[in-house]
Structure 1
């Protein structure tokens, strides 16, 4: 038996299964999932809600679209460029998303295929167990559009893959395949593309069948490493919002939309 959890967005849906797995399903078949204004707010609040939902013992995040998630929709990015109150709201939501995933007592598994960018990369990599298809493409593209890598990277990339690799990929925005991400430790596991969904679901079901207290206590203990990095995350997020108010972000978005190299100022 499957129930649907009501959410105030069309960007994703949530299915609650009787085996204890809650599935967060991004996007729609044939489209590239993104997070719009409503979707960003909804996914930020989701983790606390699922942790309190009766019967939920693990969470699986996957996509039905062409990729995992391409990050913020154009309407969200435009608000970041044009609205001070909008930037303040998105800052609060981004903080809530990261903190919600870290503090959620239910283990979270991500199944990553295609592109995972921006908020999509945040959700993919903040999962407790991240499973990537060999051909998946993970990108933190913030600096390419003229803003700091602020939505999750500072809190977790150095712990996952080390400072040298984190700096290289966050400064250059060089993409990583799922196979390469596994090699450097950025994801938990990489599998052939046609095995991704079954592998991720199997892990989510295994976790759902485990001891809720043992899993929650282990996750809470391990995540103190992330909590120690919280000041770096807060700083990076604030700098990202400052950057969205500057000229480089406008030039970065224009270059992206016009499919040309950006011409950033000095």
Structure 2
């Protein structure tokens, strides 16, 4: 698939994805979502990718929201389909990606932009970033998992406050609330995200994927997270990486994992 709205590059086993609609503050339209879905699917399947760094072009916006002009005339059925397709193909796909996805929030992360960041496994924000879910000011609510993921990250009261008031918050407050992992100066943002991914690259890839699955299961009502953890823990024992990791530990050397 040839991308028109995102930039994609694999470098040192990291897939760099940049939403490249700077003049539109990187707003999400249907075409951009389709490209993101394709890129995330590639990341999950490619042995050349060990992690994903997701950011927005420029210094103003990570993603400043969805492209409202595309759905302003929708009815209820069309609106539900929009939300369901987006969640299934992009937001849930990112959350369930077996490769760690780090959001480098370089500016405004509003509406669908904040929902995109929340679907990522780890969030690093520039100190100038502003975050919010302003949908109620448009007569809507978040439709790409925002009500659910924000509640899980910051608690019901803070989530309802942010959604009902439609207020933006600073990166500093977002860090205090647990919405982002770390805040760094804008100039250090990409390096900070790379630093996390480079640390993860030193660990066993299959174990990292198992950890993502088990942690996600803690918030999935249809499964028992403890059972998922036990099953994934057991599966690790059949991997070559487990044998390499334990052997390297006993031999007091660094492991050389093979993703097998």
Q: Do they fold alike, i.e. is TM over 0.5?
A: yes
Displacement, 1:86?
A: 6.9
Structure 1 runs of 4+ aligned residues shifted over 4 Å read 28-31, 82-87
- Aligned partners of 1:131 and 1:189 also within 8 Å: yes
Verify: 1:27 aligned to 2:20, yes or no: yes
Q: How many residues matched?
A: 222
- Aligned partners of 2:9 and 2:17 also within 8 Å: yes
Verify: 1:102 aligned to 2:126, yes or no: no
Displacement, 1:46?
A: 3.3
After superposition, the Cα gap between the structure-2 partners of 1:83 and 1:172, relative to the gap in structure 1 and judged at 3 Å, is closer
* Structure 1 segment 1-266 matched on structure 2, within 5 A: 6-7=1-2, 9-17=3-11, 19-28=12-21, 32-65=25-58, 66-78=60-72, 81=74, 84-85=77-78, 88-228=81-221
- Aligned partners of 1:22 and 1:60 also within 8 Å: yes
Q: Give the match's secondary structure for 1:215.
A: helix
Q: Give the match's secondary structure for 1:181.
A: helix
After superposition, the Cα gap between the structure-2 partners of 1:136 and 1:165, relative to the gap in structure 1 and judged at 3 Å, is same
Query: Higher RCO, 1 or 2 (CA under 8 Å, sep at least 6)?
Result: 1
After superposition, the Cα gap between the structure-2 partners of 1:154 and 1:84, relative to the gap in structure 1 and judged at 3 Å, is closer
TM-score calculated relative to the size of structure 2:
0.77
After superposition, the Cα gap between the structure-2 partners of 1:174 and 1:29, relative to the gap in structure 1 and judged at 3 Å, is closer
After superposition, the Cα gap between the structure-2 partners of 1:28 and 1:99, relative to the gap in structure 1 and judged at 3 Å, is closer
Q: Give the match's secondary structure for 1:223.
A: helix
Larger radius of gyration: 2
TM-score calculated relative to the size of structure 1:
0.76
Backbone CA RMSD of aligned residues: 2.3
- The equivalent residue for 1:263 is none
Displacement, 1:67?
A: 0.8
